[in-house]
Amino acid sequence: MAKSYTKAQIRKITSRFGLIPLKSRLVSSLYRKNAVIQVKTKKGTYALKPFSRTKMVRSNTIQQMEQAASMIRLLKKRKYSYMPAWLPTHSGKLWTLHQGTPFYMSQWIKGRGLENAEDFEKLGWALATLHATSTGLYRIGRGKSPTSQQLKIWKKQDRLFQKKIKKISRHDTKYRNWYNTHGKDCQRLSRRAWKDLQDTSIVKLFQKENRSHALIHSDITIPNVMISDNGQLKIIDWDRVKVGSVYADLAKALMNTTQFNPEFVQSLLKGYQKRKPLSPTERKMVTALYTLPREAWHASLHPNRSRDREILDNWGHSWPLRLQIIHILQEWSMYKRK
């Protein structure tokens, strides 16, 4: 059950950031009820957000909050302008603890969502700026390429999906037709992507990547990108910011925002490469990561949940569109810049 908050609690937490709420309301996200609290004050409108822990990481909620806050400070120091400003508390920290839950406070961005090719070009530029701004800030021991670490997780999810196909095809008549029809499609996409990712040039890229890491947002989705009223693009919801694979971050952004629209895909890539040009090998990497049918892997774990069921139901409709985008990316990966 989603947690609610009283006016007294909101007032107490907000006061630690030096603000007095005049009016507040709970706002739900696409995935979570009461995900953020909109707080109106004399100084402006702000988002008061309980920090959302990433379950894929072993560290606890407090440790993850501290890590995220340190990365936000770093981006602020580097003058990264595509995120809402985070407010400090009276003690100077970027978050506070209330009844065991970390909260942070940032500007409330008023505006609209992504609508046209120009918006997507802005998103590509903003994402590339994040990756370029933070490159080299973190160095991790040998053998820990961010992309290869991400691929270990995705390979595990792929194996679980393969087991699911076999189990459902034998015992679950409700979803048997879907898996019999589209399970093979997913297997073909996976085989193609895993084969491409074994290319010698990509393996060498893993080694190069290990020498200089960067920060990624990890959750570039349609609800998390806003065009503010003054025309500036802002990326919100930085709970999952971390050191990670810039290639996976770009591939996920393409999948999660463009809705298989060729113009939007090409505009996002155009904006990205204006700020951070990619080599043919890097483009091949992004294409292979995009090809992996990750949504089907996730949705198949909980096919009875309405959102996951919707993903599975729409797979047949999106399949030809997906193939079209993969073809566009393959051509892009082979293009030689002059």
Q: Please state the CATH superfamily assignment of the domain spanning residues 117-334 in this structure.
A: Aminoglycoside phosphotransferase (APH), C-terminal lobe (3.90.1200.10)
pTM: 0.93
Task: Compute how many other C-beta atoms are within 10 angstroms of the C-beta atom of residue 329.
Answer: 23
Burial of 136 (0-12, 13-18, 19+ CB in 10 A): exposed
How high is the mean pLDDT in each 10-residue block of the chain (338 residues)? 81 97 88 86 96 81 95 94 97 96 96 97 98 69 77 94 76 74 90 96 88 88 95 96 95 97 98 96 97 92 80 87 96 76
> Domain segments of the chain: what residues?
18-108, 117-334
d(CA 195, CA 199): 7
Q: Which CATH class is domain 18-108?
A: alpha beta
pLDDT at 58: 75
